[in-house]
Structure 1
Amino acid sequence: MKKKWAAAAISAALFLCTGAGAYAGANLQEIKAYLNSGIKIKVDGKPVKLQDAQGNPVIPITYNNTTYLPVRAVSDALKIAVDWDGSTSTVLLGEKVDGVSIDTGEQLSIHTTLDPTFTTYNGKNYKAAITYQGNDSIVLYPKKKYQKLYLQIAAIDKDVDIEFKDSDTFRTLKETTTIKANSGLNTIEVDIGGIDTIWAGVTAKEGGTFFIPLTTSYYK
């Protein structure tokens, strides 16, 4: 239902709320349009309020009997990733073609390490990893740019449980997954469309050790 709603909205000619620099150029045409605060929006039957990236309300525009909706606000309401490629003046909706490593320089956990002694697993050095003997809380920052998270994790000696929540609302994104000891690297797929920050709770049973390579875990 959400995908069909998004397609209909896009076909109605949406516009992206970007910086002023993105609009410079010869493609601009001045028009006379109207802010139409009388239009209400529902997603799957539930009323929603359209907001910009700062949380400010945005109002649909009516021009020549056609209603134009802000694509970023609509994408957030539908939990669909949206981005802007300034080099090609292109709005990017949904999954990106290539994955992006979660190793973006952010401090994801206090147990993040670059030490080859701890970033090496089964003879391969992953350069950056989160590894710990015990429980840990991990914070990831997709910043509403992606649809999927593919997180790799290994349980070294004991079973490990991991769960994912929206850090802002604490809504469950994926129920607890149990990683069996000595089962190698497991890849967990999580739907993260429209999510800004993710909390992942790792519980290593009986003092076990887990290993999460950051360079091969990615967003898409």
Structure 2
Amino acid sequence: MKKKMTAAFTAFAVLGGMGAGVVAGANLQEIKAFLNPSIKFKLNGQPVQLKNSSGAVVAPITYNNTTYLPVRAVSDLLGVAVKFDPAANTIFLGEQLEGVSIAAGFDSSYHTKDPDKTVYLDKDYKDVHFDNGSGTRGSSFMLYPKNKYQKLYIQVAAIDGDIKDFTIQDSDTDTVLKKQTITPEQGLVTIEADIAGVSTIYVTGQVEDGAAMFVPLTTSYYK
């Protein structure tokens, strides 16, 4: 994937096209350029179209014998996450250096900050999804990366029984990104999933009767 991304972004000078924030924060220089819808694109030999975040087809720009492509459209085609930081006036491509906790905006019926429920193996994680309900059941929650990140690193522990078919799924396309069974003997497991181009994630697992699912939110993160 890195080779594909490098080739694409080296072959063309890339224009941000990330929205009004870029324009407002940039040191702009006026130029005369042309939209060039005659240019066609193929990805791995198959015809593709460049589209913006709303799904509308966008054309490249030609200026001074150089073709400029919108970053988001190209990154979506290549499966590379893109994020614009208006404060730093910087576009981030791919996996970020610093993780972003999934705790912000998290909501589930088993979301808790109760100190009696946030401790696992003598460590207090402060903010967790802790499903200690009764009966064999599905335990689930939603995440909203909004296409901004390349990877999800989510931690989960099975307590007093197995979690079967722990699944990370693209909610919009029903694509399974990762699935596995987690046992108490494994301890706190870190599961990595590629979430480039994913807006909404559905996380679920089948918890055995008498067992609990423990997901620390502060140490589970996007990158």
TM (norm. structure 2) is 0.89
| 2:207 alignment counterpart | 204
| CA-CA distance at 1:207 after TM superposition | 4.6
User: Which runs of no fewer than 5 residues in structure 1 stay unpaired?
Assistant: none
| 2:94 alignment counterpart | 94
- Mapped to 2, the partners of 1:53 and 1:76 lie a distance apart of 9
| 1:45 alignment counterpart | 45
SS in 1 for 2:9: helix
User: Which runs of no fewer than 5 residues in structure 2 stay unpaired?
Assistant: none
Map 1:3-42 onto structure 2 (within 5 A).
Answer: 3-11=2-10, 12-24=12-24, 27-42=27-42
| CA-CA distance at 1:21 after TM superposition | 4.2
Number of aligned residues:
217
- Mapped to 1, the partners of 2:42 and 2:141 lie a distance apart of 34
| 1:169 alignment counterpart | 173
Post-superposition Cα deviations, 1:106-143, rounded to whole Å, max 9, x if no partner, equal 32x22211222222222222111111133212211111
| CA-CA distance at 1:32 after TM superposition | 1.7
Q: Cα distance 1:26–1:76, how it changes in 2: closer, same or farther (>3 A)?
A: closer
| 2:109 alignment counterpart | 110
Post-superposition Cα deviations, 1:140-189, rounded to whole Å, max 9, x if no partner, equal 11111111111111110111120111111011211x21111243211111
| 2:195 alignment counterpart | 192
SS in 2 for 1:153: strand
1:139 aligns with 2:142: yes
- Larger mean Cα displacement after TM superposition, 185-194 or 113-122: 113-122
- Mapped to 2, the partners of 1:66 and 1:76 lie a distance apart of 22
Percent identity, aligned pairs only, is 52
Which amino acid letter does the alignment assign opposite residue 212 of structure 1? V
- Mapped to 2, the partners of 1:101 and 1:89 lie a distance apart of 22
Aligned-residue CA RMSD in angstroms?
Answer: 1.8
- Mapped to 2, the partners of 1:50 and 1:56 lie a distance apart of 8
SS in 1 for 2:14: coil
Kept in 2: contact 1:51–1:57 (CA 8 A): yes
Which amino acid letter does the alignment assign opposite residue 18 of structure 2? T
Which amino acid letter does the alignment assign opposite residue 127 of structure 1? K
| CA-CA distance at 1:193 after TM superposition | 1.4
Post-superposition Cα deviations, 1:13-63, rounded to whole Å, max 9, x if no partner, equal 111123334324783222221111122222222332222222222111112
Kept in 2: contact 1:9–1:69 (CA 8 A): no
| CA-CA distance at 1:215 after TM superposition | 0.7
- Mapped to 1, the partners of 2:113 and 2:121 lie a distance apart of 16
TM (norm. structure 1) is 0.90
SS in 2 for 1:59: coil
Q: Cα distance 1:26–1:88, how it changes in 2: closer, same or farther (>3 A)?
A: closer
| 1:126 alignment counterpart | 125
Kept in 1: contact 2:18–2:72 (CA 8 A): no
Which amino acid letter does the alignment assign opposite residue 113 of structure 1? T
